[in-house]
């Protein structure tokens, strides 16, 4: 397994002094990186954060494989009901190994498709149900808390659809992935059991647990991502083997060996020292497109924080953007090269595509066509990436590159684990908690209140009062009091 990080186009000698980092700045900051490594490792070994340990949980991996084997050939569709981290990881794995939708092969019980219901748009849900055969569908409902409004609402609709077709047999076609023990969420009520877990217990659904110290955006190598992957035929043993190797590398103090820590340090320097507040993930592979959206959530929710660990107001964050090479050379690169110089670009490259891609050896007497004859798409996509990189550098736009030897389960598992470690290290460098999400919880609590969930009445009252003030203001603002975040966010 080989994954490389190339930082040379982040250097001041390439991007210019105003936009690049010097080697001396990097060398002087090595102690910061080693401190971040030690700090995160201590927290991980105390059990605060569990994602580094997931690839080594053989019992979990074996249980998933055993279940997948036991139901093999009973379905041609796996329907995942989840949102955010409970859906994006499964999509990244499916897209990365089996290829992007809609160009995957025809789905059969031997080659089932993956349908992900990750939004509550009624038209989207209805269209998804119409596209599936209830007699050939296995439903996987995923919610760590077991109470996420979007997931629960969609699951109730899917469950009813399944039961109307299958009757009592529907329970055999439903799996719940959630917290199996006690879970604290309801304000003023303390701990409670996941409602999805309670429903599974009463209805007889198969269950898999989400470790309490693994948050949704870091859960791709837990049953959240591994179960859907195994059910559609992805080798999760190879996925976790690659992730385990990356984990070993990510605990090393040698920055040349520890690619996640080295990448985090360079990204931290270019962000903080050169004020590059937008991070563009730029995969030159359609199979990594799902991973780009998975990364977008990981980076945004982990690093966008109002306060640091000491409680001081910092409002830190780097906005992640997904761009696809070469497609978005024709839709975004004009902005990237000539627009505001507030971005850093991270190219994701695949060295070996492993697909036949030779351009037919037939000429037409046209210079603008015939020069491509008998060359390959692999050579062309590499030339396109190099050309985009050169154009960015010529215009003082810093960028770096992560290269995977090839895209298989081992490399994808390692790459996902690398990005999770890089994010965790970045949180330490920024002195923020990369594993909480108070901003997200505020919106969730308002939703629960508006929908009448017991225990959330105060949130309904608060949002109704705010809406009255906004309406009275007439301009959609509250003047000096608007957007200060005081209230529900401070209580969560």
Q: Are 423 and 363 in contact (CB under 8 A)?
A: no
Say what the pLDDT of residue 297 is. 98
Query: Which member of 301, 409, 410, 428 is catalytic?
Result: 301
Of the candidates 210, 84, 195, 179, the residue with the CA atom closest to the CA atom of residue 455: 195
The set of residues, in sequence order, having a beta carbon less than 8 Å from that of 53 and lying 6+ positions away, is 44
Q: How far apart are CA 234 and CA 401, in angstroms?
A: 27
Q: How far apart are CA 438 and CA 492, in angstroms?
A: 7
46 flagged as catalytic: no
State the pairing for strand pair 343-352/319-322: unpaired
Say what the pLDDT of residue 487 is. 42
Q: Is 188 left (phi over 0), alpha (psi -120 to 50) or beta?
A: left
Say what the pLDDT of residue 463 is. 87
Q: Are 406 and 285 in contact (CB under 8 A)?
A: no
Tell me if residue 232 falls in helix, strand or coil. Answer: coil
Query: Which member of 274, 349, 411, 444 is catalytic?
Result: 444
Q: How far apart are CA 19 and CA 395, in angstroms?
A: 10
Q: Are 249 and 263 in contact (CB under 8 A)?
A: no
Of the candidates 446, 96, 143, 114, the residue with the CA atom closest to the CA atom of residue 238: 96
Structure tokens at 436: 């909480």
What is the pTM for the complete model shown?
A: 0.93
Alpha carbon separation from 190 to 186, 292, 448, 458 (Å, rounded): 6, 36, 16, 16
Residue 421: its H or E element: helix 409-430
Q: Which runs of E-coded beta strand occur in 298-358?
A: 305-307, 313-316, 319-322, 343-352
Ramachandran angles phi, psi of 359, nearest 5°: -75, 130
330 flagged as catalytic: yes
Query: Which member of 46, 59, 188, 330 is catalytic?
Result: 330
Q: Are 148 and 83 in contact (CB under 8 A)?
A: yes
Q: How far apart are CA 240 and CA 411, in angstroms?
A: 10
Structure tokens at 86: 């409970």
444 flagged as catalytic: yes
Of the candidates 400, 417, 427, the residue with the CA atom closest to the CA atom of residue 263: 400
Q: How far apart are CA 149 and CA 414, in angstroms?
A: 32
Exposure class string for 15-44: b at 16+ Cβ within 10 A, else e? bbeebbbeeeebeebeeebeebbebbbeeb
Q: List, run by run, the mean pLDDT of 10-residue segments along the chain (492 residues).
A: 96 97 97 98 97 98 98 97 97 97 90 97 97 98 94 98 97 96 56 86 96 96 98 98 98 97 98 97 98 98 96 97 97 98 98 89 93 94 97 98 97 98 98 91 86 88 87 62 42 35
Structure tokens at 205: 């659904």
DSSP letters spanning 125-172: HHHHHHHS-GGGEEEEEE-SSS--HHHHHHHHHHHHHHHHHHGGGGGG
The set of residues, in sequence order, having a beta carbon less than 8 Å from that of 445 and lying 6+ positions away, is 187, 456, 459, 488, 492
Q: How far apart are CA 239 and CA 237, in angstroms?
A: 5
Angle between helices 223-231 and 236-250 (to 10 degrees): 150
The set of residues, in sequence order, having a beta carbon less than 8 Å from that of 112 and lying 6+ positions away, is 75, 76, 77, 78, 138, 231, 232, 233
Q: What is the CA radius of gyration of the chain?
A: 24
Beta bridge partners of residue 69, listed in sequence order:
none
DSSP letters spanning 182-227: EEE-STTT-EEE-HHHHHHHHHT-EEEEPPTTS-GGG-TTSHHHHH
Q: Which runs of E-coded beta strand occur in 317-391?
A: 319-322, 343-352
Q: Are 241 and 210 in contact (CB under 8 A)?
A: no
């Amino acid at each position: 397994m080989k994954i490389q990080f190339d930082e040379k186009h982040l250097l001041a000698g390439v991007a210019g002094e105003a936009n690049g980092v010097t080697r001396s700045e990097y060398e002087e900051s090595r102690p910061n990186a080693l401190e971040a490594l030690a700090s995160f490792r201590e927290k991980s070994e105390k059990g605060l954060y569990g994602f580094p340990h997931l690839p080594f949980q053989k019992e979990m991996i074996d249980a998933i494989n055993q279940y997948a084997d036991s139901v093999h050939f009973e379905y041609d569709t796996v329907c995942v009901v989840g949102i955010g981290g409970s859906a994006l990881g499964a999509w990244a794995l499916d897209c990365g190994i089996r290829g992007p939708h809609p160009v995957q092969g025809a789905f059969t019980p031997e080659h089932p498709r993956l349908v992900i219901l990750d939004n509550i748009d009624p038209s989207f849900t209805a269209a998804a149900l119409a596209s599936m055969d209830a007699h050939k569908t296995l439903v996987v409902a995923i919610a760590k808390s077991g109470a996420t409004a979007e997931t629960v609402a969609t699951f109730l609709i899917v469950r009813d659809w399944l039961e109307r077709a299958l009757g009592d047999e529907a329970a055999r076609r439903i799996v719940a992935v959630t917290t199996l023990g006690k879970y604290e969420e309801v304000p003023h009520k303390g701990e409670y059991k996941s409602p999805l877990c309670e429903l599974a217990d009463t209805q007889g659904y198969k269950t898999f647990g989400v470790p309490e110290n693994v948050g949704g955006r870091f859960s791709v190598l837990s049953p959240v991502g591994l179960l859907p992957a195994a059910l559609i035929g992805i080798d999760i043993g190879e996925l976790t083997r690659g992730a385990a190797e990356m984990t070993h590398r990510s605990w090393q103090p040698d920055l040349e060996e520890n690619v996640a820590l080295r990448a985090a340090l360079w990204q931290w320097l270019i962000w903080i020292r050169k004020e590059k507040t937008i991070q563009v993930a730029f995969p030159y592979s359609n199979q990594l497109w799902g991973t780009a959206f998975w990364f977008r959530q990981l980076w945004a929710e982990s690093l966008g924080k109002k306060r640091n660990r000491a409680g001081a107001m910092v409002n830190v964050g780097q906005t992640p953007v997904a761009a696809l090479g070469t497609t978005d050379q024709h839709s975004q690169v004009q902005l990237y090269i000539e627009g505001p110089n507030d971005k850093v670009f991270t190219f994701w490259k695949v060295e070996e595509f492993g697909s036949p891609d030779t351009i037919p050896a037939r000429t037409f007497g046209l210079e603008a066509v015939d020069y491509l004859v008998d060359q390959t798409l692999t050579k062309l996509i590499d030339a396109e990436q190099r050309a985009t990189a050169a154009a960015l550098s010529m215009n003082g736009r810093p960028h770096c590159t992560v290269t995977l030897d090839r895209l298989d389960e081992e490399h994808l598992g390692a790459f996902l684990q690398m990005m999770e470690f890089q994010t965790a290290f970045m949180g330490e460098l920024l002195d923020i908690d990369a594993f909480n999400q108070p901003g997200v919880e505020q919106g969730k609590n308002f939703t629960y209140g508006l929908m009448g969930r017991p225990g959330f009445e105060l949130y309904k009252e608060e949002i109704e009062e705010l809406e009255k003030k906004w309406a009275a203001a007439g301009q959609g603002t509250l003047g000096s009091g608007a957007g200060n975040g005081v209230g529900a966010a401070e209580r969560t």
